[in-house]
A and B are shown apart, each in its own frame.
Chain A
């Protein structure tokens, strides 16, 4: 993976995904190792994202790297009208790897073609966010002991949620059975279902959440946004149908874990937080180990 950019989740193979998860496991046990002391990491956040940026910077700092960059476009030369190409060309003179978040889709792919150093995509508009996918995979593997042959439910906005699309694509390499629960308006797009079909895997679609809960190992919850509905009445009808309450979990399997990419609004009631099956806050912590693994592997200090 040395010097390889990570823009889309499929830029890395199944084996590379597994290797990153293994490395993350090592960093979880030994989070502070000064193995990147000779390296400079640039974090270019053309739009603010506190959680993702801090988790990358924490990962880099724990490994001894120097971090440079900006946390929103107004404090960069973009403000003066500089093109993305020029910004990337210039910054790649100053660093060994670029971590970048940008509001436009495809910006990270373009940057990876222009930059002299590898690029890690930390989110390009509504397109890809591969480090989120890897930390989701890590969370699933850690809680279930394996990634193979699991029953995984995706709940809520499956149409627009980029974390759902990337995770479904990545899990297609692990014989997953997919349970897709959403309002009819927000079903998983056929462009994503194609990947499931290509691997001859099974998916089931539902509109009711409760009936699926006893069947699955992972419940991956997402937020349904009001602005996705042309008719506000349609939103009012569906919004309460995809809310997870603690009482609904009585029938769940003992190994069930609940994941959510966060931020949550009201789709998981707070009484679930104390249930040992709630995993979404630990899931966020795992992001640091995944990002340590990626930085170390791409900078070539580990194989």
Chain B
């Protein structure tokens, strides 16, 4: 186990302070980066994907130096990576470990699946209420239509 840990650390080096987002499904890594707006991030950022994982087969991991996310922000990634674990690192030590939770409201990031919705036709931020966290169903604040798991796509 120790050896494995060591190897893993070699693949993605440790950070001194910040947040590690582990157990991201490999296919969702770049969506997580987009949702958290990390492409604009100015500090050290380590990204790895298609790593071997006992739990998931393949997984991705993102390490964000000197960044501690607000719950509301980080929970957005639950839409694409419900399996993700958050690890808070301070002074190279794990200080907190928790799972992401699907939020009650989702703003900006998701696109309403209804092409006739005003948010897809004018420059308007999208807003949803999560009406079913298990099946992942979002009700649009504007057109009132339900965007379900299989229809979720993200705004550019």
Contacts and interface: CB of A to CB of B under 8 A. Distances in A.
Interface of A: 8, 83-85, 102-107, 109-110, 124-128, 191
Interface of B: 112, 114, 116-119, 121-124, 140-146
B140, B143, B145 pick with most chain A CB within 10 angstroms:
B143
Contacts of B122: 83-85, 104, 110
Contacts, number: 52
Nearest to A84: B122
B41 to A, nearest CB: 31
Given A127-B143, A127-B144, A128-B144, A104 B116 contact: yes
Given A105-B117, A105-B118, 13 more contacts: A85-B123, A103-B116, A104-B143, A105-B114, A105-B116, A105-B145, A106-B140, A109-B141, A109-B142, A110-B122, A124-B118, A126-B116, A128-B144
A105 B119 CA distance: 9
Given A83-B123, A106-B140, A191 B117 contact: no
A104 B117 contact: yes
A110 B142 contact: yes
B123 A106 contact: no
A106 B121 CA distance: 10
Contacts of A109: 118, 141-142
Contacts of A105: 114, 116-118, 142-145
A104 B121 CA distance: 8
Contacts of A124: 118, 143
Contacts of B121: 104
